[in-house]
Structure 1
Amino acid sequence: MRNLTIEPFVATALLLAALASNGNAYAQGAPQAIMEKRTDVVQLASGYRASKLSGADVYNRNKDAIGTLDDLIVSPGGGRGTYAILSVGGFLGMGKHLVAVPFNDLQIENRRIVLPDATKKSLAALPEFKYAPE
């Protein structure tokens, strides 16, 4: 009986020791290096929560409403950055057209999202964004 309680403990200890010695973490069997980086929390706290931006109207520099921020897409690995998915056209959600624009092109001024040089027509001319099937 005593060996049964010691074996799981020993196995767990060996696994933890192996992970600690390599500096790698394993998720679904694939090794992943873990890097710690300090974050400036004061600067981060002055940012914008995605949940608060979703559904917000988007304006151009003439203060014309040109669409709605529908979603944010963060590319894997940070290669291409973040994209804002805008809903343009349509009425009451019917016939809307989704387009992707780089999030860095948006400006947030006085709690208002601005895409300075865009118009409804220029956004509608962009290729339609479609989500990849899950």
Structure 2
Amino acid sequence: MMRNTQIKPLAASASLLAAITLISALGTGGSAFAQGAPQAITEKRTDVVQLASGYRASKLSGADVYNRNKDNIGTLDDLIVSPGTERTTYAILSVGGFLGLGKHLVAVPFNDLQIDNRRIVLPDGTKKSLEALPEFKYAD
């Protein structure tokens, strides 16, 4: 009986480890299994109180974007994190158009935007300069 009680926790631990490994691999598109690469998880302490006072992407979506002259130059359509190891965040801005027709989507680095009291500012942006950027199109 003693032998069985010692094996069960070990078997449960092995099952849990296998499940975590499977979930981790699925989260990366299965590439961890295909490449045989070990996965490392780094923990970092976060000040959750300070983080909670930040700006949620869901609340920023649809917000008007202004320049330093307080001209409305577009609307924040979306935020996209680039693939790869850099994980740069881009703001997808909608410029031009009327009632959603003829709008032109462009990508600008999120770090170029300033957010103050829920007001989004691209200081040196103009409608004309944004419309001159290459058009952004969603992959799907």
* Partner Cα distance (1:10, 1:110) in 2: 53
Determine if the alignment matches structure 1 residue 106 to structure 2 residue 102: no
SS of equivalent residue, structure 1 residue 44: helix
* Partner Cα distance (1:11, 1:132) in 2: 44
Aligned residues: 121
Aligned to 2:35: none
SS of equivalent residue, structure 1 residue 91: coil
RMSD: 2.4
> Which of 90, 109, 125 does residue 118 from structure 1 map onto?
125
SS of equivalent residue, structure 1 residue 14: helix
- What stretches of structure 1 of length at least 5 have no aligned partner? 1-8
| Cα pair distance change 1:90/1:14, threshold 3 Å | same
* Partner Cα distance (2:117, 2:40) in 1: 40
TM-score w.r.t. the length of structure 2 is 0.75
Aligned to 2:15: 15
Determine if the alignment matches structure 1 residue 25 to structure 2 residue 21: yes
SS of equivalent residue, structure 1 residue 73: strand
* Runs of 4+ residues over 6 Å off in structure 1: none
Partner AA of 1:84 in structure 2? A
CA contact (8 A) 2:60 2:118 kept: no
- What stretches of structure 2 of length at least 5 have no aligned partner? 1-8, 33-37
SS of equivalent residue, structure 2 residue 39: strand
TM-score w.r.t. the length of structure 1 is 0.78
* Partner Cα distance (1:49, 1:67) in 2: 19
Tell me by how many angstroms 1:75 deviates. 1.9
Determine if the alignment matches structure 1 residue 96 to structure 2 residue 92: no
As a proportion of its length, which structure holds more strand? 1
* Partner Cα distance (2:50, 2:84) in 1: 22
Determine if the alignment matches structure 1 residue 79 to structure 2 residue 86: yes
Partner AA of 2:15 in structure 1? L
Q: Deviations over 1:39-70 (max 9, x none)?
A: 12133122100000000000011111000000
